[in-house]
Amino acid sequence: MTALHSTAPRTGVDVLDRCRALVRPALAEAVGRLHPRLGEMAGYAFGWCEVGGGPAAGSGGKGVRQALAVLGAEAVGGHARAGSTAAVAVELVHVFSLLHDDIMDGDASRRGRPTVWAAYGTGPAVLAGDALFALAVETLAAVPDGGGAVRLLSAALGDLVRGQADDLLFAGRPWTGPERVRPAEYRAMAERKTGALLGCAAALGARLGGAPPATVAALDRAGRDLGIAFQIVDDVLGVWGDPAVTGKPVHGDLRERKKTLPVLVALEAPGAHHLAALLESGRRPDAAAAWIEAAGGRSGALDEARRRIARAEAALGALPLRAGPAGELKALLDFLVGRDL
Stretch that binds its own copies, among 14-22, 151-159, 225-233, 307-315 (CB under 8 A): 151-159
Residue 123 contacts its own copies per CB under 8 A: yes
How far apart are the C-alpha atoms of 133 and 127, rounded to whole Å? Answer: 10
C-beta of residue 83 within 8 angstroms of C-beta of residue 205: yes
Amino acid at 220: D
| One of 151, 182, 283, 322 touching its own copies (CB under 8 A) | 151
CB of residue 29 vs its own copies: minimum separation in angstroms? 15
Residue 104 contacts its own copies per CB under 8 A: yes
| One of 130, 268, 293, 340 touching its own copies (CB under 8 A) | 130
| One of 66, 84, 164, 215 touching its own copies (CB under 8 A) | 164
Residue 274 contacts its own copies per CB under 8 A: no
Specify the residue, 169 or 314, whose C-beta has the smaller distance to its own copies.
169
Positions 7 through 66 that interact with its own copies (CB under 8 A): 34-35, 37-38
Specify the residue, 100 or 298, whose C-beta has the smaller distance to its own copies.
100
Q: Which residues of 205-238 are buried (b: 16+ CB within 10 A; e: fewer)?
A: bbbbbebeeebbbbbbbbbbbbbbbbbbbbbbbb
CB of residue 239 vs its own copies: minimum separation in angstroms? 25
Specify the residue, 150 or 305, whose C-beta has the smaller distance to its own copies.
150
| One of 68, 90, 103, 337 touching its own copies (CB under 8 A) | 103
CB of residue 120 vs its own copies: minimum separation in angstroms? 11
Residue 141 contacts its own copies per CB under 8 A: yes
By CB under 8 A, the count of residues binding its own copies is 45
| One of 134, 277, 294, 318 touching its own copies (CB under 8 A) | 134
Stretch that binds its own copies, among 97-105, 216-224, 313-321, 331-339 (CB under 8 A): 97-105
| One of 69, 87, 89, 135 touching its own copies (CB under 8 A) | 135
Binding site for its own copies (CB under 8 A): 34-35, 37-38, 100, 103-106, 122-124, 126-127, 129-131, 133-135, 137-138, 140-142, 144-148, 150-151, 153-155, 157-158, 160-162, 164-166, 168-169
